[in-house]
């Protein structure tokens, strides 16, 4: 049984789909006018797991993420670069898709663009005007009108964020706008200022406000109601509150059954902002780090906790990954010594793995509790590492056990889109990053290990022990194999 923390109602709830066996998910996507930063991919990485997990539970998942390709910032960028707004957004949709592919995430089922849904958006707004939930006012010029949503016509306003209109009006400074009936009313349609890109509507040429896009695209794709609406915590108010107001005022029924919000990324406790100059694009991060490092950083903490981006948390991710890869590289070194047809599967170990899998299932079914799932995996890794070592005499039983362990880690990783690299090769890459932090060079370690091998060959075991001691101090572990000495950074 899957339980989800529903922001609407602020409690853990059993997941029940609208239609048996089917799940519809909508995530508010990016506004496309530049390269996206590391904060923009927390949701996609986490929901990649949500989708995989729901499919594992037997649901057919229909998952949409939109592109906001109509916006002031896009128009500004178009002006600066002497392009049409559509050209700017197309470029950055493609750039987004490149980052998405670099992260090794599954494609969404749908990527609606606002400009593809103009007739549906206009008809949604007309519907709200007809139902007296929205009203037109004078716009930029005579003959051009804006349309605002009337929040006093929606009695449940504030039910998601817990912010009530009365408190909002007294608590915050609100721009005086005599055209609005209530200062909190928000724009559904903005009349075109001269030279701006526009679309036809009953209120004259203009473009939609941001909030109505999502409501209208969801209705067009999925109907009046969806199972899960997802977004960052920063979108809960006013964006999601306004989506609920529009959609429920229009349909008269419930809009989204579950609201899932992930927490923000922080930089040493500070928010990411232009003024702090700490905005890191995904593209730049991936120049220095492997995609699995980013995914680990997003998935190791719970999605409702903040994820911190510091040198330390990057290092922790590298070292966590190195521990996993070290164990699966070890497993591989064991089972590759025996023909696969000769593996003897261990029933007792199979039962042990079942217990570990149940712990992972329980953790993920409890609001996608990745920290507990990771802990269950590390328990298993610790036990495996205590029973296996490189260079040990391999029997068909041991090979079978190592293979079972390897398959288990790969299976868990497939849900997270982690642990999919070639273990031995990727372990070297991770070790290099750990060495950098320790202040050692791979060539220096190689030399010490070779010198040790030489004195060992000459049977000078006292000297060999001295070398081992020195390497241990450098946090290097050496195994003596028939094929030579193997070393790796201690994890």
Q: Which residues bind Zn ion (CB under 5 A)?
A: 28, 214
For the CB of residue 114, give the shortest distance to Zn ion in the complex, in Å.
10
User: 3-state DSSP call for residue 148?
Assistant: strand
- The Cα 87–Cα 108 span in angstroms is 22
- The Cα 258–Cα 27 span in angstroms is 12
Radius of gyration of the chain (CA): 28
- Closest CB to Zn ion among 244 and 322? 244
C-alpha pair distances (Å), 220 with each of 27, 38, 225, 271, 488 = 15, 30, 11, 35, 55
For the CB of residue 43, give the shortest distance to Zn ion in the complex, in Å.
12
- Closest CB to Zn ion among 29 and 204? 29
- Closest CB to Zn ion among 45 and 214? 214
For the CB of residue 212, give the shortest distance to Zn ion in the complex, in Å.
10
- Closest CB to Zn ion among 36 and 380? 36
- DSSP H/E element including 206: strand 206-208
For the CB of residue 259, give the shortest distance to Zn ion in the complex, in Å.
11
- Contact indicator for 424, 328 with CB cutoff of 8 Å: no
- The Cα 255–Cα 245 span in angstroms is 9
Q: Which residues on adjacent β-strands are paired with residue 147?
A: 136, 189
- Closest CB to Zn ion among 28 and 226? 28
- Closest CB to Zn ion among 214 and 363? 214
- Closest CB to Zn ion among 187 and 489? 187
- Closest CB to Zn ion among 214 and 402? 214
**Residue pointed to by tokens 């496309």:** 32
* b (16+ CB within 10 A) / e for 8-33: beeeeeebebeeeeebbbbbbbbbbb
Closest CA to 390 of 437, 326, 340: 326
- Closest CB to Zn ion among 54 and 244? 244
Phi, psi of 389 (to 5 degrees): -145, 155
For the CB of residue 239, give the shortest distance to Zn ion in the complex, in Å.
6
Angle at 315 between CA 309 and CA 318, to 5 degrees: 110
484 Cβ contact list (under 8 Å, min separation 6) = 453
For the CB of residue 214, give the shortest distance to Zn ion in the complex, in Å.
3
For the CB of residue 7, give the shortest distance to Zn ion in the complex, in Å.
14
* b (16+ CB within 10 A) / e for 145-170: bbbbbbbebbeebbbbbebebeebee
For the CB of residue 4, give the shortest distance to Zn ion in the complex, in Å.
19
For the CB of residue 205, give the shortest distance to Zn ion in the complex, in Å.
24
**Residue pointed to by tokens 């001269």:** 194
């Amino acid at each position: 049984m899957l339980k989800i923390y529903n922001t609407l109602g602020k409690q853990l709830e059993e997941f029940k789909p609208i239609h048996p066996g089917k799940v519809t998910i909508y995530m508010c996507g990016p506004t496309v006018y530049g390269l996206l930063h590391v904060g923009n991919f927390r949701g996609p990485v986490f929901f990649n797991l949500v989708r995989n997990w729901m499919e594992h539970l037997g649901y057919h998942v229909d998952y949409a993420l939109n592109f906001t390709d109509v916006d002031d910032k896009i128009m500004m960028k178009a002006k600066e670069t002497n392009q049409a707004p559509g050209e700017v957004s197309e470029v950055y949709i493609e750039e987004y898709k490149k980052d998405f592919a670099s992260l090794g995430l599954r494609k969404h089922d749908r990527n609606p663009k606002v400009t593809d849904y103009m007739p549906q958006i206009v008809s949604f707004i007309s519907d709200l005007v007809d139902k007296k939930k929205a009203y037109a006012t004078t716009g930029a010029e005579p003959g051009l009108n804006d349309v605002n949503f009337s929040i006093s016509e929606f009695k449940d306003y504030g039910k998601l964020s817990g912010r009530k209109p009365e408190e909002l009006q007294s608590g915050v400074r609100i721009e005086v706008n005599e055209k609005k009936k209530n200062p909190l009313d928000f724009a559904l349609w903005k009349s075109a200022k001269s030279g701006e890109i526009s679309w036809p509507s009953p209120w004259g040429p203009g473009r939609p406000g941001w909030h109505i896009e999502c409501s209208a695209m969801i209705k067009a794709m999925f109907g009046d109601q969806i199972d899960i609406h997802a977004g960052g915590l920063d979108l809960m108010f006013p964006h999601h509150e306004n989506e609920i107001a529009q959609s429920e005022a229009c349909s008269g029924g419930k809009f989204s059954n579950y609201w899932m919000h992930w927490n923000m990324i922080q930089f040493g406790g500070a928010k990411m902002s232009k003024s702090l100059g700490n905005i890191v694009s995904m593209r730049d991060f991936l120049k220095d780090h492997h995609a699995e490092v980013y995914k680990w950083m997003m998935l190791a903490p719970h999605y409702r906790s903040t994820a911190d981006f510091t040198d330390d948390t990057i290092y922790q991710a590298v070292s966590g990954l190195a521990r996993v890869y070290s164990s699966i590289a070890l497993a591989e070194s064991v089972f590759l010594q025996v023909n696969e047809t000769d593996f003897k599967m261990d029933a007792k170990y199979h039962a042990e793995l079942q217990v570990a899998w149940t712990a992972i299932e329980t953790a993920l079914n409890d609001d996608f509790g990745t920290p507990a799932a990771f802990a269950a995996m590390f328990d298993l890794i610790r036990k495996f590492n205590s029973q296996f070592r490189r260079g040990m005499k391999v029997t068909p039983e041991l090979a079978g056990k190592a293979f079972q362990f390897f398959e288990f880690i790969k299976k868990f990783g497939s849900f997270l889109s982690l642990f999919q690299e070639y273990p031995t090769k990727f372990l070297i890459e991770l070790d290099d990053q750990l060495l950098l932090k320790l202040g050692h060079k791979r060539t220096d370690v190689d030399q010490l290990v070779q010198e040790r091998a030489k004195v060992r060959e000459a049977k000078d075991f006292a000297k060999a022990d001295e070398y081992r001691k020195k390497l241990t101090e450098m946090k290097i572990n050496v195994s003596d194999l028939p094929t030579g000495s193997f070393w790796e950074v201690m994890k």
